[in-house]
Amino acid sequence: MSGVPASRALFVLGAFALLTLFPLGAGSFGIDLITKVMIYAVFALSLELLVGSTGLVCFGQAAFFGLGAYATYWLTPADAAPSLAWLLPSCMALAAAYALFVGALSLRTKGVYFIMVTLAFAQMAYYVVHDTPLGGGTDGVYLNHKPVLGALLDLDKPLALYGFTLACLVGVFVFLALLLRSRFGRALAGIRVNERRMRATGFSTYPYKLAAFVISGAIAGLAGFLFAVKDGFVNPELLSWHLSGAVLIMIILGGLGHLRGALIGAFAFAMLQEFFKSEAVFGSFARHWLLGLGLAIIASVALLPRGLVGVPAQVRERLWGARGDAAAEVDDEPG
Amino acid sequence: MDLATFLIQCLNSLQYGLLLFLVASGLTLIFGIMGVINLAHGSFYMIGAYMAYALAPLVAGSIGGGFFTTLVVGLVLAVLLGYVLEWAFFSFLYEREHLQQVLMTYGLILVFEELRSLLVGDDVHGVKPPEILAGSLPLGELMTYPVYRLFISGVCLALALGMYLVFTRTRLGMMIRAGATNREMVQSLGVDIKFLYRVVFAAGVAIAVLAGMVAAPVSSVYPGMGNTVLIICFVVVVIGGIGSIRGALLAALLIGFVDTFGKVLLPQAAGVLVYVLMALILLWKPDGLFRAG
């Protein structure tokens, strides 16, 4: 990790340290909210691998998230709490399997067509859980039991879930950071920058893209699993295109091409949501919270072309006009 | 299925398909010519439908007149809306990445949807078709077919023809096609490309608004209607080949038939069919049926 500037490493470490200390001073509302934010962050990281690192804009990421959540419901037995040890890998495997199917077919297309095909496959999954008996109906269903790990960990307890989610988030972040620095990650970056040239130099790009797609699906499945466990409830909206759109917004808002952009984006998106929904600030107007969120998104596009991650560089440019350094700042270094 | 039912379903498919074509044509134009992915396009359809509902009493009260006057007033407002929107939100997006445009237009969807909620509320409303078109035509011995649905098909066909003529036979159409191919070159030949884009955008918005207004009496008016239409229209645009009006027409009709007959013959799977169709077509032809040059 020698290429990472100290300020970035410090930022990420600081963020994780804060998240670790957070439960000491927070009430149950805060714990629940930050758990949700961390789940969004895991979900956003899964999409960042595709969009920011590989240049594949997937508009159906919610399908893998939702399938991870529904798998939790399908596999939870009626009479006893399932063990985390087999339930979590199974949920991720199911999401990954669907990602393998979707990826194998949709990676034949490119650009906007790819966006739409992934959307189409997500809509198919959506209608399967929405319209067939498999899904338990439009209104969703409750989980019978929350998973446990022997006597060690009971995910029904908010603090235990918080800790487990944080561990997952750190695990996924470190995994992706290492992955992107490996030969495999370099190949993905090459595909993003110029796929034709990668092929010309003898890389068969398809297996790389497919592998990235499946890994991304599995991570989204992990996020879906966590979400289902947190709420104890799944519904078809977890697979809807609104959610696919929202997670895309998170990573763009945070800044594409940086893993920490996904963290920042997920956090900012959730906080904006909470802020505009807050009746303490907006009174009865809080009912129309989407208006504020929409305006904030539009303002961010107009003012922050590189996302929130690019803000320090933008500020530096303003103050010192240091264009050269700033350009070096934006590049491809993941992290 | 007997012959009369079959015929009715065919007419319904045709009407639905043509309506989809109207909305999708604006989407494909704006994408093909200006290179902007406009997620907010469905909102224009929604705005149209709500205009048909909310403008009618205002128009009747102020200048008098019924459905058709409302249509005209709505169209004028739509062109103004499109023109202003392009100026305020889109004109600085052309140089940016597609994803920035996605973000911006997603924000616009939220804003439009909430403004609609503030101004008109969240209830479902019906809109009455105009008196002259309220009747039904007999079809076979027992069945009838509403005249208004035929009127929708007629309006859509007329607009499709009009668009075709403008594109292929007029100087404006020529400039638009040239601008889609090479923006800088057209600009250096002395064409005001910014103005041209603004016109194209305003026209796209106006067509979507018109589609919404015309469809309101059939579909009723409800929150979220824009999003449903948006996704289906993206399917149409992609199947047809991005930027191709001809492709959009064919794809819209295809979807109209598959969706309508799917609902009758396979009600459980109706939602999925359209997407299965799209996936199959794109696997067969990854650039859509007609790729625009």
Residue A275: CB atoms within 10 A of its CB come to 15
A154 forms bridges with which residues in the sheet? A148
What single DSSP character describes residue B136?
E
Cα B144 to chain center, whole Å? 27
| pLDDT tens-digit map of A131-186 | 777 777 778 888 888 888 877 888 888 899 999 999 999 999 999 999 999 999 99
Instruction: Check CB contact under 8 Å for B238 and A113.
Output: yes
The beta-carbon neighbor of B271 closest among A112, A121, A131 is: A131
Residue of chain B minimizing CA distance to A110: B286
Kindly report the nearest CA distance between residue B62 and chain A, in angstroms: 31
Instruction: Check CB contact under 8 Å for B275 and A131.
Output: no
Q: Give me Rg for the CA atoms of chain A.
A: 20
**B117 residue type, one letter:** S
Burial of A260 (0-12, 13-18, 19+ CB in 10 A): buried
Instruction: Check CB contact under 8 Å for B111 and A112.
Output: no
Kindly report the nearest CA distance between residue B37 and chain A, in angstroms: 9
Q: What is the per-residue pLDDT for A3?
A: 59
Residue B45: CB atoms within 10 A of its CB come to 31
Burial of A158 (0-12, 13-18, 19+ CB in 10 A): middle
- Which chain B residues are within 8 Å of A119, Cβ to Cβ? 231, 234
**A333 residue type, one letter:** E
Spell out the residues 6+ positions from residue A218 whose beta carbon is closer than 8 angstroms to its own.
Answer: A64, A92, A93, A95, A96, A99
Spatial contact of A217 and A100, defined as CB atoms under 8 Å apart:
yes
Distance CA A125, CA A236 (A): 9
Asked whether the predicted pLDDT for residue B241 surpasses 90, the reply is no
The beta-carbon neighbor of A117 closest among B31, B269, B282 is: B282
Angle between helices B98-120 and B41-62 (to 10 degrees): 30
- Which chain B residues are within 8 Å of A249, Cβ to Cβ? 103, 106
Secondary structure of residue B95 in the 3-state scheme: coil
Residue A209: CB atoms within 10 A of its CB come to 21
Please report the residues numbered 14 through 53 in chain A whose beta carbons come closer than 8 angstroms to any beta carbon of chain B. Answer: 51
Q: What is the per-residue pLDDT for A93?
A: 96
The beta-carbon neighbor of B235 closest among A116, A252, A305 is: A116
Residue A39 banded pLDDT, cuts 50, 70, 90: very high
Distance CA B197, CA B199 (A): 5
Residue A59: which domain range? 27-330
The beta-carbon neighbor of B103 closest among A112, A123, A301 is: A301
Cα B22 to chain center, whole Å? 4
A302/B contact by beta carbon, under 8 A: yes
**A251 residue type, one letter:** I
Q: What is the per-residue pLDDT for A41?
A: 96
Distance CA B153, CA B148 (A): 9
Spatial contact of A119 and A59, defined as CB atoms under 8 Å apart:
yes
Spatial contact of B36 and B94, defined as CB atoms under 8 Å apart:
yes
Q: What is the per-residue pLDDT for A67?
A: 95
- Which residue shows structure tokens 């917004």? A249
B92/A contact by beta carbon, under 8 A: yes
Q: Which residues of A161-192 are buried (b: 16+ CB within 10 A; e: fewer)?
A: bbbbbbebbeebbeebbebbbeeebebbbbbb
Asked whether the predicted pLDDT for residue B269 surpasses 80, the reply is no
Q: Which two tokens stand for residue A183?
A: 């030969």
- Phi/psi region, residue B65 (left: phi>0; alpha: psi -120 to 50; beta: rest), is left
Which one of B36, B43, B110 makes the best mutation probe of the A interface by having the most chain A beta carbons within 10 Å?
B110
Asked whether the predicted pLDDT for residue B136 surpasses 70, the reply is yes
Spell out the residues 6+ positions from residue B282 whose beta carbon is closer than 8 angstroms to its own.
Answer: A108, A109, A113, A116, A117, A120, B238, B239, B288
| pLDDT tens-digit map of B10-37 | 988 999 999 999 999 888 888 878 888 8
Distance CA A131, CA A112 (A): 28
Residue A20 included in any domain: no
Spatial contact of B108 and B82, defined as CB atoms under 8 Å apart:
no
A234/B contact by beta carbon, under 8 A: no
Kindly report the nearest CA distance between residue A18 and chain B, in angstroms: 29
Q: Which two tokens stand for residue A255?
A: 């800044």
A277/B contact by beta carbon, under 8 A: no
A132/B contact by beta carbon, under 8 A: yes
Average pLDDT over residues A224-249: 92
Average pLDDT of the residues of chain A: 87
First to last CA, chain A: 10
Which one of B98, B273, B278, B289 makes the best mutation probe of the A interface by having the most chain A beta carbons within 10 Å?
B278
Residue A1 banded pLDDT, cuts 50, 70, 90: very low
Kindly report the nearest CA distance between residue A292 and chain B, in angstroms: 8
Residue A300 included in any domain: yes
Residue of chain B minimizing CA distance to A113: B238
Q: What is the per-residue pLDDT for B292?
A: 53
Instruction: Check CB contact under 8 Å for A249 and B109.
Output: no
**B184 residue type, one letter:** E
> In terms of residues, how long is chain B?
293
Residue of chain B minimizing CA distance to A114: B286
Distance CA A12, CA A17 (A): 9
3-state secondary structure chain A: CCCCCHHHHHHHHHHHHHHHHHHHHCCHHHHHHHHHHHHHHHHHHHHHHHHHHHCCCCCCHHHHHHHHHHHHHHHCCCCCCCEHHHHHHHHHHHHHHHHHHHHHHHCCCCHHHHHHHHHHHHHHHHHHHHHCHHHCCCCCEECCCCCEECCCEECCCHHHHHHHHHHHHHHHHHHHHHHHHCHHHHHHHHHHHHHHHHHHCCCCHHHHHHHHHHHHHHHHHHHHHHHHHHHCEECHHHHCHHHHHHHHHHHHHHCCCCHHHHHHHHHHHHHHHHHHHCHHHHHHHHHHHHHHHHHHHHHHHHHCCCCHHHHHHHHHHHHHCCHHHHHHHHCCCCC
Asked whether the predicted pLDDT for residue A63 surpasses 90, the reply is yes
Q: What is the per-residue pLDDT for A331?
A: 46
Q: What is the per-residue pLDDT for A247?
A: 94
Q: What is the per-residue pLDDT for A223?
A: 97
B282/A contact by beta carbon, under 8 A: yes
Average pLDDT over residues A303-331: 71
Residue A8 included in any domain: no
Asked whether the predicted pLDDT for residue A268 surpasses 90, the reply is yes
Q: What is the per-residue pLDDT for B293?
A: 46
CA distances from A242 to A58, A72, A80 (A): 13, 21, 34
Total count of domains within chain A: 1
CA distances from A199 to A78, A186, A191, A205, B201 (A): 51, 14, 9, 6, 38
The beta-carbon neighbor of B108 closest among A108, A120, A298 is: A298
Q: How do A148-149 and A153-154 pair as beta strands? A: antiparallel
CA distances from B275 to A100, A119, B234, B247 (A): 18, 9, 11, 17
Asked whether the predicted pLDDT for residue B281 surpasses 80, the reply is yes
Distance CA B113, CA B46 (A): 9
Instruction: Check CB contact under 8 Å for B268 and A116.
Output: no
The beta-carbon neighbor of A291 closest among B100, B110, B271 is: B110
Instruction: Check CB contact under 8 Å for A116 and B238.
Output: yes
Average pLDDT over residues A110-124: 84
Asked whether the predicted pLDDT for residue A72 surpasses 90, the reply is yes
